[in-house]
Every structure is written in C-alpha cells, then in structure tokens.
Amino acid sequence: MDTKQPDSFFKKKISRRKMLKYSGAGILGVVIGATGLGSIANTLGYSIVEDDMTVTDKIPFFGKSQSGIKTEVQKHIYFASINVIVQSKTELEQLFKEWTPLAVRMMNGQQIEEPATNAYIAAKDTGEAVGLSASNLSLTFGVGPSLFRKSELGLERVKPKELEKLPHFPKDQLDDSYSDGDLCIQACADDPQVAFHAVRNLIRAASGKVTLKWTQAGFNSFPVNNNKKQTPRNLFAFKDGTGNPNVKNTSEMKDIVWIQPGESVPWMVGGTYLVARRIQMHLETWDRTALGEQEATFGRHRDSGAPIGKTKELDDMELTRTDSAGKPIVPITSHVHLAKQVKDRMLRRSFSYSSGIDPKTGVFDSGLLFISFQKQPKQFINIQNSLGRVDKLNEYITHRGSAIFACFPGIQKGSYIGETLFKA
C-alpha cells in the first residue's frame, strides 16, 4: 500500500495553462498581494483552513482518523443519511472539497464564513450557533453501498466487497424511512444546537447536489464520579456501552476498529465501518415489568451495571457460573449472554432518542440510535445473528431502521474529505 500522505495544495503543480491564465490576466500578483495564497487555493478548489487548538471545547478535524469515532462520547448527536443527485464523480469530489473547510470552521466554533455586510443577500451561515462554543463538535463522514451502484459516478471498481446492505435479521421490522443512504454525516456535540447547525449548514451548502433521506437526533447523559464520566444509561435505565474497547489502546483499536493494509481496498486503510440501527423501545411494556425480570433480560444488575451475581460494572461476566441447582446464574437467553457467545467485538457510540409518539399506537416513539464502529461488517453481523430470535430483549424492542457506511480514514492537512476514495 502507498503510505504517502496526500499532498497539500502548495506541493501540487499548477499547469502551464492555469498559470498563464492567472498571470496573463494579471490576477496572480494581485491575489497574492491583496489577500494571500488562500485566495488562489479557493480558486483551484482548495481552501486553507486549519484547526484552531486555542479554542476551548475543541476537537481536531485533521488527524490519522476522523473525529467522532474514538472521540470521547458527547451528549448529543444529529445523524443524517443523504442521497446524492450529482451526475459525475468530479461533482461529488468537488462537494467534499467544499465541505472540508466548512467542517473545520464549525469544529473551531466559527461561522462557515465571516458575516456578510450586505443586508440584501442571504448570510452564508444560518446563524443559530453564533455565540455558542465549539462544544466538542465532531463530524464523521461515510459512504453507503448504494453510492457505488450509481453508474454515472464511476465508483463501482473501487467498492469494498464487504460494503453491502446489512442482511435482514430475525425480528427486524424495518422502515425505509429510517434505512440506508448514499452518504452519512454524524454530528456529535455537547450542545444539541451546535450538532444540528453543523448538519444544516453542510446540507444547505450542498443544495442541488444532495437530498436528505433520513435524520435522527439523540442524547446521552453521563453520571460523574470523582470527576470522571461514567457509562451512560439507555431509556431502559441500564448502562449502555460497558465493555467497549479502550480507544486509547492502539493495539486494541487496530484489532477491532481500524482497517489495516490487506484487510480491504487500499483507500479504506485507517478507516472503519459505521453501523446505524434505529431501535424502538416499548417503554410502556418495559415499565410494567418487574425489576428482577428486567435484569434477567439484560444479564446485568440495573443500578450497578454488574453481571448478575456480582457487584461491579467491569467484573468478569463468567458465563459458565451456575447456582446450587446447576442453573446458569446469567440466563442463557439474556442479551449479554447471547452477545458474548461470539468473540467479535465492536466500538459502540449509541444515543437515546425520543421523537414524539407513534401515530399508529399513540405510545412513545422512543428508543436507541445504536451506532457501532468495526473494521469488518461481519463483526456486527455475527453478534446480531447470535442474538437471533431467542434474545429476551426482543420482547421490548423493535428494529425500525438499518444502515451501513464506510467511513474514510482521517483527513490530513492540505487534503479533503474522501480524497483517498477519489484518488483510488
């Protein structure tokens, strides 16, 4: 694999024709003298915007991996699945080039462009995040299987063979309104308005090039103990995310999350796969269930998060434990027991959601926006198949939406979102 980092604009050679075009018109010297090299970069499709690490509550945009994957989980998410309507690979590449500086500026806590002084034109930035901090905004971009089926884009030959629509799992009752998509944007932040603002402005900037397929807002709350965030709870009040890999452990992340050379197509090296599942939780049924039955459903104690029969959240599950009658202490149909029957692991970044009421039943339309990252989709597929029809949790949930996206490796300074795909 070619490990050479993408060249910055300043290392790119300007063709003789373009140089003559600019110098012949007398533009080159004027542009450099008046506003600096950034204006030339804009003319050629690049914009020089850098992470401002002096900003508080700031997450870097550029790096070895995209933000929003190993980033410490924020309080809010706005997830958008998008359909592409451009008619060429060049147009799509240009869109990602245009999105790149906008994403950097918003992650810096800035407007996407300096405020306009002309009151007779629409402002470039929608403005609802003015005065708010960067709020640890992270933006993660991915591409779905359907993008590679668009013959006009000419991307079929570089499609990863493992990037396929997720299979239909037992008990799935999927709604196309919350499934699939050509692209995705995952915006996470500690302020819900900052997350929404980011997606809103990226979609607005792409007017005429993309359409929204589905979106979902979500939230998390984190108990704090000794100044350290604890595992958040889902709407069933159980801790969600116990047993995640240590994102600071490079070896563990390589084994579970980051694609290594030879494991997929070259442009995906350093990237990962995002699985999104919109899971409706039947709160009214759950709320009528005895605590002991709830704990038997998950295989954990509700308050501590510990495996049944133990006291601490991170205690070893020890699935082979039995009571005096030889009965398994952790029920074999519990959610955790079934999930741990396979060796596969994944990195979870899930968020609760509440979207009004279900118009058909009049009950809460609430649940979990399950998001996981894994180096191979089969990691999620194997776990979901293990849960199968016997998972006791199936009595209280329904999977309504399903999608998978290939997330690009990190964007380097001077590069743009998705460059490894477009240069493949």
- pLDDT tier at 114, thresholds 50, 70, 90: confident
**Mean residue pLDDT across the chain:** 90
Sign of the CA dihedral running 64, 69, 71, 77: positive
Q: What percent of the chain has pLDDT over 70?
A: 89
Give φ, ψ of 138 to 5 degrees: -125, 145
* Torsion, CA 229, CA 231, CA 234, CA 239, rounded to 10: -150
* Torsion, CA 321, CA 325, CA 330, CA 335, rounded to 10: 130
Residues in the chain, how many? Answer: 424
Q: What is the pLDDT of residue 237?
A: 97
Contact by Cβ (8 Å): 388, 167:
no
**DSSP single-letter state for residue 75:** S
Residue 204: pLDDT over 80: yes
What is the SS3 string spanning 377-410?
Answer: HHHHHHHHHHHCCCCHHHHCEEEEEEEEEEECCC
Cα(379)–Cα(372) distance, integer angstroms:
10
The residues near 226 (Cβ < 8 Å, ≥ 6 apart) are: none
Which amino acid is located at 188 in the chain? C
Cα(256)–Cα(375) distance, integer angstroms:
6
Helical ranges in 10-88 per DSSP H: 16-24, 27-35, 38-43
Beta partners for residue 322, in sequence order: 328
Cα(342)–Cα(64) distance, integer angstroms:
30
Residue 195: pLDDT over 90: yes
pLDDT per residue as tens digits for the range 333-379: 999 999 998 999 999 999 999 999 988 889 999 999 999 999 999 99
Per-position DSSP letters for 220-249, written without gaps between them: ----EETTEEPPPB-TTSSB-STT---TT-
Contact by Cβ (8 Å): 177, 214:
yes
Closest CA to 3 of 409, 407, 416: 409
pLDDT per residue as tens digits for the range 235-250: 999 999 898 999 999 9
Residue 43: pLDDT over 50: no
Closest CA to 368 of 241, 214, 262, 192: 241
Cα(132)–Cα(307) distance, integer angstroms:
41
Q: What is the pLDDT of residue 34?
A: 38
Closest CA to 41 of 88, 123, 96, 101: 101
**DSSP single-letter state for residue 147:** G
Residue 9, helix vs strand vs coil: helix
Closest CA to 344 of 248, 404, 256: 256
Residue 216, helix vs strand vs coil: strand
Q: What is the mean pLDDT of residues 318-325?
A: 93
The residues near 286 (Cβ < 8 Å, ≥ 6 apart) are: 236, 294, 396
- pLDDT tier at 25, thresholds 50, 70, 90: very low
Q: What is the mean pLDDT of residues 249-259?
A: 98
- pLDDT tier at 47, thresholds 50, 70, 90: low
Closest CA to 179 of 83, 277, 79: 277
* Alpha carbon distance, N-terminus to C-terminus of the chain: 11
- pLDDT tier at 117, thresholds 50, 70, 90: confident
Closest CA to 337 of 314, 317, 322, 357: 317
Q: What is the mean pLDDT of residues 383-390?
A: 94
Q: What is the pLDDT of residue 119?
A: 87
Contact by Cβ (8 Å): 392, 348:
no
Cα(39)–Cα(114) distance, integer angstroms:
15
Chain Cα centroid distance, residue 414: 23
